[in-house]
Structures are given as structure tokens and as C-alpha cells.
Amino acid sequence: MKRFFLTLFSVVALLANAGTMPVYLDCSKPIEQRIDDLLPRLTLDEKIAIIHAQSKFSSPGIARLGIPTFWTDDGPHGVRPDVLWDEWEQAGATNDSCVAFPALTCLAATWNPDIARRYGIALGEEARYRGKDMILGPGVNILRTPLGGRNFEYMGEDPYLASAMVVPYVQGLQSQGVAACVKHYALNNNELFRHNTNVIVDERTLHEIYLPAFKAAVQQGHAWGIMGAYNLYKNIHNCHNPYLLNDVLKRDWGFDGVVVSDWGGAHDTEQAIKYGLDMEFGTWTNGLTEGARNAYDNYYLALPYKRLIEQGKFSTKELDDKVRRVLRLFMRTTLQDYRPRGSMCSAEHYATARATACEGIVLLQNRNATLPIDVNATRRVLVVGENAIKMMTVGGGSSSLKVQRESLPLEALRSRLQPLGIEVDYARGYVGDTTGAYNGVTTGQDLVDRRPAQELVREAVEKARQADIVIYYGGLNKSQHQDAEEFDREDYGLPYNQDDLISALAATGCRLVVVNISGNPVAMPWRDAVGAIVQGWMLGSEAGEALADVLTGAANPSGKLPFTWPEKLGDVGAHAMGDYPGTKRADSDIWDEEYCERFYVGYRWVDKAKTRPAFAFGHGLSYTSFKLGKPAMSATAVTAADSITFTVPVTNVGSRAGAEVVQLYIHDVKSSFERPYKELKGFAKIYLEPGQTRNVAITIGRDALSYYDDNQHRWVAEAGKFEALLGTASDKIAHRLTFTLTNP
């Protein structure tokens, strides 16, 4: 409210002095005209001020001209709680609890762009209510290795899927007057040594795998912000990288928004001036005891920049471009004529979180119809595992949240089954991280259990022998070296000796369901010994309810994996080629990491190496069955200017309503350039009642047939024969259609 009245006072003063509304405040005028009016009004000090932080999460507006402070906040799964002005400690607010939406791996696993838009809108509404102008998300870095600690915040391994899901998210978020800041641009594919890893990758791989989702966010989603990554490319930090920022982002893609540094990601004033950084944020100050008292003014784009201008080493040309971009951001957010007020913790937001979770949960395995739980034949259910009782919204880094509520799997399952006369017992099984705190937010849970590990296992096994079905909730959590910022996983196996526990449970002969909670694939040496496996992700506020929906059959699972689930690390290109996490230079702290596998990431590597994953990219089962009928295509020969549509009837041949995802992969039969065997280029999710048939149509254009020619520095589509592969997973291709591209 104070912020509102200060701004209002400034505007009233302006109108009184000028006698008429300045053009820059007239929202009926085009944005560029408003910027042209405002830019000459700014002093050098004001220009410098608005391109760097004044606190942990804000940059100053210009009170003299009625421009309010600009507030950012972490996402991308919920609005982070407020911290103190100069410190990471909690501000102690009582109105900053939020709805935690499922992590972005779950969102990608829905394969549903409509859900992504709904998700973005809900997040935008929460941000607006909290007075936030920019959400630092979504993240679209590619899952290159399952050891990546931050993979849970991203959208999987495939550039097309990530592109299709990020665009509606950005559009939904920005429809609420809140800027998206898509991150981390680019090649931030591991957390280990993230501040000093120099990525070595060929230009073709860069453009085909690691840049498409950012490009889609800019050109289709019209994102207003991009966050530079911590790592280096071509030996230059990505927050001021001339090739990535000036050449690709701003020149080739026409990006007209702002490039925001990751916090502390800027390293050099002259590079920041010349090489594309627009707004600098950082971490090294609490205003009192760390850094200088005026530490924000000492940032690279603050007083050091001003001094270079005053010394004549730089003109204001670069500064005015940065300021123009920041003013454009203001016009789109804080200086909009009308911005929705937003809402917090509404029933609609919880419904969105639950719908996203239900659609994203993946039924990986279901032998002998272990699921859904047969309530008519079940009298005793045993729940095992710490993740059944542990809150997962706290921890993991910048996406850690302070939630209004979080439903837990054990409680939710009990509330469903006990009214039906079904006993739900619990055994801890293992003890993992019991701290329950991150950055001043605590769960309030006391998970301490000092019993010996052998006793915990023995209890679980004894109870399992008496149960009709055992539901095991395990996997990872958000502790260091699991699903967490700043840390990569140290191995592919489950922590806390869970593999031995699961094997011991399976040895009892019980009907065993394993619910894996993680944002990453994990080793499953016990896979053939268990009945059902459910990938439960980090599901947010409605985690328990959504999992109960799927386990009991109230919701029919329809999620599909957004990444390949390898049997072992050696089946991953980045590890098979042997350059993760790179090699430390002898004369510095820089690590050179070469992407030796090139564009063979995920299922592309599976096809090349002819390995068999535990579960393929795009895999996901249902409680019903679907059949893809005879497909058709709109033409057998097309030119580069044409599009081609593939149509296939899909029938629900089972007894339950459900959803299937038709996936279209393209195979270039003969190319002068080496290409992956197949690449995802289209998909559609369809909902069907039992016995219902509907046609699915997927249209592609020239871009779906193209590869990036790094000799010509452009996308090329060669004339010749192509195959359209239609199926329901990368390893479940039902139909092949051949067509020809002519006159490309």
C-alpha cells in the first residue's frame, strides 16, 4: 500500500506540474512511443539505477517520474516467500504462503499444453496478489544426465516437447501482467561446478538440442525476460556472452525483452556493457557485514559503469539500449493501465495443482493389474517409506516454497480407504533427511527416528507379510546431492539403502507398488520383482491427493515420460562418451566439459547405441487400452513451403475413460548429414470414453524436416524421402508413413 501511495503521489505531482498527462503514462499510446517520450527524461543516474538491483529481489523504479519499484521473485513452481531487503533470511511475513504447483518435470509429463497455460495463469495470479512483477522461471534446460541436481525444475530431454510446453506457460503467466524470465540461458545442464564450467559443444548440437525451447519461448511465447546462466560458453560467462546474447538471442531471434543475470552471474563490467546483459542482480551483500555498505551501487552495471561513461571510455549508446529494454519491461508490467489484482491460495489454484499432478503422474509398470487398488478385495494396506510422510515443498534451492498446506501421501490414502473399512498401516522402512528446513522456512515436522536401520526393515517386512497390498513411497528428496540446486547426484542409485529395503519387501511375495518421488530417473535393480511402479515426481501442495487419485483409480493415469529412463548410467550418452563433469584446467579453476555425444541425447542416443532403457521416452501406461487405427496423410509429396497433416483414429478399447498421447517422430531416410534416427516433431493428447473413437490430426512444416547446418549457420531441409512414425512412445511405433520433400 505504501508503494501504491508513493507512486500515486509522484503521478499527481507530474500532472500538476505538466498540466497534461506525459505520453509515457498514457497507456493508449503504443509502447515504443511511450518509451521515446520517457527515455530523454531520465538522468544518467536514473538510467544506471534501473539496470541493477537495489535489494535481493528488486530494482528501483523512478519515483520522480511515477515509476514504481520492480519486484522479481523465484519460481517456477510457486511464488517464493519474502526475504529481508538485504539478506536471504525470511522477512517474517504471515501472508506469503502459496500454492506449490508440481515441478516442471511433472508439467512436461502431462504432454498437455492446455494444462501448461492453466498452470502459468494460476502462478501469475499468485504473483500478482503478492505484488511481484517478474517470476524467475520457467526453466527449460535439457536433461543431459540423470545426475543433474536441477533436472526436476526443467522439462525433460527433448527440445520439441520442452518448446511445446514452455510457450503456453509463458503466455499464461504474462497474461496476468507478470513477466516470465526463462532460464538458464544456456547449456546449464549440471549443477556441479556450475559457476566455472566452460561448455564445449558444436554449433549444430547447440541449435538443435539446447536452444530450441528458449527460441520458442522468445518467438512464440514472446517472453519478456531471459536469465543468463552461470556457466561459460566459448570461455565467456553466459550472463555476458556475445554469441548467445547479442548474436543469437537479440539479433537472430529478435528478442526485445531484458536479459537478467542469474544472481551473481555477472563478472566483468566491460563485458556486461558490450555483450548483452541488461539487468544485473546479485547476492554478495546483506548491506551491513558482507561487501560494502553500498554494495548494490558497486555492482558491475552500477557505479563502475557510470565511471566508464564519465571517463569517456563508453558513450551512452549501449546504456540507452539497456534502458530502453528495461522501460519496455516496465510498460508491460508496472506501467500497464490495468493489471489483474490476482489471488492467492484459491480453490481454483489448488484444482490446477491437482489436475497437473494427476495428468503428469506416470504409470511405469503394472504387472497383473496390481493397480488400481481393488477396494472390494482389499482389507489391509501397508504404506512404507519416509516419502509417504515427508513434506517435499521445502528445500531444493531457489524453488523452495512456504506453502499454505501440503497433502501427504499416507494421510490422503488413509482418508480414501479407511471409510471403506480398509485398514491402512504404516512402517517407516528407512530414515533419510529429517531436517525439514531451508532458508528460514521449516516444515514443522518431527521426522526423527533413531531406531537401527535393521529394525526398520524388519518391521516393514513383517507387516508386509500381513498386508493385501504394500504401497512403498520412496525415491529422492530435496537434500544435497539429490533433487537440489548447487548439487548434482553422486550416483544413480537410490539413497538410504532403499534398494535393499524394496528387495526385502518384494521377497515376501506381497503385491508391491513402488511410488518413486523424484524429478530424475533412478536405478531400479528390483524392477522385475515388483508389481507396479508409479513415477510420482515432486507434486507440490496436492501431492498426496493426486497420488491417492491415481492409486485408487479415481484418476486414470495419462502421464508420459519427458525423458528416457536408462537402466544404468553407462546407457546415457553423456556418460558413455566419458566427459561428465569435464576436466579441470591445470592453470585455473575452470572446468572444460565437452558434449562429446553431440545431439545424441536421450532417446536419440538409445537409437544410435541400440541400448534398451528401463522405460522409453514418451512411455506411460493407463488403466484402459487404446488402439491406433489406419493413418492417413494430406499429401505424399510436399515442398518446403507446404505443411503436411497426419491423421490417425484412436479408439479406447478398454472399460475406463482415459487419455492417450499420439506421438509423431520424423525419420530422414537418407541425408547427406548425419542425423538421429528419429526426432519428436508433434504430439496430441486425446481423452476418450470407453469404446469411443476420435481422429487425431498433427500438422508439421518445413522446420520439422530440417537440421542445423553449422557450415552455413542456418536451418536446412534436404529434398528426399522421409518417414512419419506414429506411436504412443518412442519405442512403441504403430505406423509408418512415407512422403517426399521436393524443392526445399
Fold of 361-563: Rossmann fold (3.40.50)
Fold of 624-744: Immunoglobulin-like (2.60.40)
pLDDT exceeds 70 at position 3:
no
Mark residue 706 as left, alpha or beta (left: phi above 0; alpha: psi -120 to 50; beta: remaining). Answer: beta
- Per-residue H/E/C for 638-653: EECCCCEEEEEEEEEC
pLDDT exceeds 70 at position 6:
no
For the chain, give every domain's residue range: 2-332, 361-563, 624-744
For the ranges 3-7, 177-181, 271-275, 659-663, which has the lowest average pLDDT?
3-7
pLDDT class for 578, splitting at 50, 70, 90?
Answer: confident
Cell numbers for 224: 519478456
Residue bearing cell 525419420: 667
For domain 2-332, say whether CATH 3.20.20.300 is its number.
yes
Separation between Cα atoms, residue 569 and residue 462, nearest integer Å: 34
pLDDT at 338: 85
Strands (E), 127-257: 134-136, 179-185, 197-200, 225-228, 232-233, 236-237
pLDDT exceeds 50 at position 34:
yes
pLDDT exceeds 90 at position 7:
no
Cell numbers for 238: 553466459
Strands (E), 574-678: 583-584, 591-594, 626-628, 632-633, 637-639, 644-652, 658-668
**What are the phi and psi torsion angles at 25 (to 5°)?**
-95, -5
List, in order, residues 6 or more apart from 8 with CB less than 8 Å away.
Answer: none
pLDDT class for 285, splitting at 50, 70, 90?
Answer: confident
Separation between Cα atoms, residue 669 and residue 676, nearest integer Å: 11
For the stretch 552-574, what's the b/e string if a residue is b when 16 or more beta carbons lie within 10 angstroms of its beta carbon?
A: beebbbbbbbbbbbbbebebbbb
Residue bearing cell 592453470: 587
Instruction: Give the Å distances, CA to CA, from 44 to 258, 274, 302, 420, 681.
Output: 19, 18, 11, 71, 48
What integer is the mean pLDDT of 528-534? 98
pLDDT exceeds 60 at position 719:
yes
Share of the chain above pLDDT 90, in %: 93
* pLDDT tens track for 73-84: 999 999 999 999
User: β-strand 658-668 against 679-688: which pairing, if any?
Assistant: antiparallel
Cell numbers for 292: 560494502
What integer is the mean pLDDT of 585-611? 97
pLDDT at 4: 46
Q: At what angle do helices 543-552 and 409-417 cross, to 10 degrees?
A: 40
pLDDT exceeds 90 at position 612:
yes
pLDDT at 461: 98
What integer is the mean pLDDT of 713-721? 95
The neighbouring-strand residues paired with 39 are: none
Reported pTM: 0.96
pLDDT at 597: 97
pLDDT exceeds 50 at position 99:
yes
Separation between Cα atoms, residue 273 and residue 631, nearest integer Å: 55
pLDDT at 14: 53
DSSP classification of residue 535: E
Q: Around Cβ 41, how many Cβ atoms within 10 Å?
A: 13
Describe the strand order of the beta sheet including 197-200 as a list of residue ranges. 236-237, 232-233, 197-200, 591-594, 583-584
What integer is the mean pLDDT of 574-590? 94
Separation between Cα atoms, residue 113 and residue 492, nearest integer Å: 31
| First-residue to last-residue Cα distance in the chain | 59
pLDDT at 130: 96
Burial class of 419 by CB neighbour count within 10 A (0 to 12, 13 to 18, 19+): exposed
* pLDDT tens track for 39-85: 999 999 999 999 999 999 999 999 999 999 999 999 999 999 999 99
Instruction: Give the Å distances, CA to CA, from 564 to 110, 146, 328.
Output: 15, 9, 40
pLDDT at 227: 98
* pLDDT tens track for 160-175: 999 999 999 999 999 9
Average pLDDT, the chain: 95
Q: Around Cβ 237, how many Cβ atoms within 10 Å?
A: 25
Cell numbers for 285: 551483500
pLDDT class for 2, splitting at 50, 70, 90?
Answer: very low
For the stretch 707-733, what's the b/e string if a residue is b when 16 or more beta carbons lie within 10 angstroms of its beta carbon?
A: bbbeeeeeebbbeeebbbbbbbbbbeb
User: How many Å separate Cα 328 from the centre of its chain?
Assistant: 26
Residue bearing cell 523465484: 74
pLDDT exceeds 90 at position 290:
no
pLDDT at 62: 96
* pLDDT tens track for 635-656: 999 998 899 999 999 999 999 9
pLDDT class for 293, splitting at 50, 70, 90?
Answer: confident
**What are the phi and psi torsion angles at 477 (to 5°)?**
-135, -160
Residues designated as active site: 262
